[in-house]
């Protein structure tokens, strides 16, 4: 879940909290929680860059640059596609880099 607060038409603040649930041997539990504060920068009417820091309860940390494109505008909600590129380090593990694809609805 994320909350975005726009300071101006172009710049805002974003805070996201991401629980990771691990399921194995017939049980499940919250395995990790990522706290993701960041900035929003509107590149065009429907395209936004989100630059987030990442702090995980597992001891990892890093950054997540995200490109967010609105693909359908409605009166009370927008449908979007986002492409995050998480980079993580720390906790005696090697640096990791990923790319994801997300679809969502913003209100």
- Per-residue pLDDT for 64 more than 90? yes
- Per-residue pLDDT for 97 more than 90? yes
The residue whose two tokens read 């049980």 is 27
The residue ranges of every structural domain in the chain are 2-106
pTM attached to this predicted model: 0.87
**Distance (Å, whole) CA 56 – CA 58:** 5
Label residue 23 exposed, middle or buried (CB < 10 Å: 0-12, 13-18, 19+): exposed
Q: Are 99 and 83 in contact (CB under 8 A)?
A: yes
Average pLDDT of the residues in 25-52: 96
Chain segment 78-89, per-residue pLDDT in tens: 999 999 999 999
What's the pLDDT band for 91 if we cut at 50, 70, 90? Answer: very high
């Amino acid at each position: 879940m994320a909350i975005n607060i726009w300071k101006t038409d172009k710049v805002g603040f974003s805070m996201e909290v991401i629980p990771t649930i691990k399921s194995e041997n017939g049980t499940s539990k919250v395995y990790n929680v990522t706290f993701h504060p960041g900035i929003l920068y509107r590149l065009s009417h429907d395209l936004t860059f989100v630059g987030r820091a990442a702090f995980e309860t597992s001891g990892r940390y890093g950054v997540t640059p995200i490109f967010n494109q609105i693909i359908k505008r409605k009166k009370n909600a927008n449908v979007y596609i986002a492409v995050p590129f998480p980079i993580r380090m720390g906790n005696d593990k090697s640096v990791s880099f990923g790319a994801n694809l997300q679809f969502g609805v913003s209100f």
